[in-house]
Amino acid sequence: MIANEPLLIRGARLIDPSTGMDMIGDILVMDGNIQRAGSAIRNGDVPSGCRVIEASGLLACPGFIDLHVHFREPGYEDKETIATGSLAAARGGFTTVCCMPNTDPAMDNASVVDYVLRRAREADLIRVLPIGCVTKGREGKELAELWELSQAGAVGFSDDGSPVADPNLMRQALAYSSSLGLPIIQHAEDPNLSQDAPVNEGELSNRLGLRGWPAAAEETMVARDIALAQLTGGQLHLAHLSTAGSVNLVRQAKERNQPITAEVTPHHLTLNERWVQGHDEEGPLSGPLTSTAYDTNAKVNPPLRTERDVAALITGLRDGTIDAIATDHAPHVVTDKLVSLNDAAFGISGLETALGALMGLVRQSDLTLNILVERLTAGPARLLGEKYASLGTIREGGTADIVLVDPDREWVVRVGEFASKGKNTPLEGMTLRGMVVATISGGRIVHSVLLDAQPMAVGEANG
């Protein structure tokens, strides 16, 4: 499909939390923008030669926005490239992603930002926005050139994968970034408490004979940085919250009207520490340990936590304490995980399974579909600021970033079918219900199983 080809999505359930829209209707796309969205469009109002998708039974939402991915390029192209990561994102329904700077070289100067943007243009699938480093080389010793990074196109600053441990440096970063209007995105971890720990601290870590990662390693850093944000007036965004205590700290800060924002990953919302023991098609195993225990694909930073923590994260998502869902997509080569749990790399490849896993959460909890869509679209769009105000919505005149979802379609997770180079997921073999069947980015269909599987659903409109 060429960029300016008109497209009509007909008969879908339109969900756009940014406008309060939830109705059966149509979307007309022209010249990469949304011309109309709402009630049914008469055939006489459809341009000649318009491609039509009959979308009855499907959900049509704004394209998802992921504030936290690792595309590994430059430096680790064996794990992922911007091209393969972009395709994985499109398959997951994501039309905008923000790339973390733990690359080689680190994204601490304008030339690396320019390189990432150029590679994203060459991939020509979705919008890729770079996040610059807080400190030079992500070494936590000296601030990076934040102004230079912002001018080059960085949408925020983070040393993700490593926390900004020095409180005085964090104070400086928050103060400086506030003048730029961009957030400091903190990986909240006290490395003195988490050192050499591959799993959550508790009964399970004791049973497995592994060093445990206490919730306090996250919560002490969250508390410190909330205090520093209040002191400086800086904009603090907390990445991948994982504990009930962290949720409470953010909730209290928001009650004091502090401009703190936070995200949570699909895996911290849907999985718990028991997944480290391995799983079958029904879910995590319990009882005696088997050969599937010590599952390195369930090793992630921060670690999977307890069922109580998962429940608190869901509550925080529902009540607005947590602003966005972000995948923390962290692809690795197979050999990074084919080692002992202590030696394995942290991370889950999550772009392509996010929607399916989260739809299960809607069915199994009191989290509504509209809240889920909001935290994947309008919520993260707000954090990107006015420059990206046309994203996260299907408002008329906005950018035509749209995802079509079949909420009832079941599919089995097969890592061999992933577009991502990263095959590391604990969900291998699991049946998920809810599939992205088409992704439209800037008015172009960049991913579709709907068109391949149901060719009769696409035709030419009669003017």
**Residue 232 token pair:** 């400086």
Distances (CA, A) of 244 to 264, 314, 327, 435: 12, 10, 19, 30
Spatial neighbors of 401 by CB under 8 A, at least 6 apart, are 62, 63, 95, 96, 127, 391, 440, 441, 442
CA atoms within 13 A on the CB side of 387: 10
Q: Residue 237 in contact with residue 160, Cβ under 8 Å? A: no
d(Cα 88, Cα 123) in Å, to the nearest integer? 12
d(Cα 23, Cα 225) in Å, to the nearest integer? 41
**Residue 83 token pair:** 């091209």
Q: How far is CA 176 from the centre of its chain?
A: 26
d(Cα 389, Cα 399) in Å, to the nearest integer? 9
d(Cα 218, Cα 450) in Å, to the nearest integer? 42
d(Cα 337, Cα 299) in Å, to the nearest integer? 9
d(Cα 265, Cα 99) in Å, to the nearest integer? 15
| DSSP H or E run through 324 | strand 324-325
CA atoms within 13 A on the CB side of 44: 0
CA atoms within 13 A on the CB side of 78: 4
Side chain identity at residue 438, one-letter code: A
Residue 295 appears among annotated catalytic residues? no
**Residue 19 token pair:** 């406008």
3-state secondary structure of 345: coil
State phi, psi for 232 to the nearest 5 degrees. Answer: -95, -20
Kindly report the number of other CB atoms within 10 A of residue 286's CB atom. 7
Q: Residue 174 in contact with residue 236, Cβ under 8 Å? A: yes
Q: Which residue has the tokens 């970063």?
A: 173
Q: How many residues does the chain have?
A: 463
Q: Residue 366 in contact with residue 454, Cβ under 8 Å? A: no
| DSSP H or E run through 110 | helix 110-123
Catalytic residue among 16, 108, 159, 328: 328
| DSSP H or E run through 397 | none
Q: Which residues are catalytically annotated? A: 328
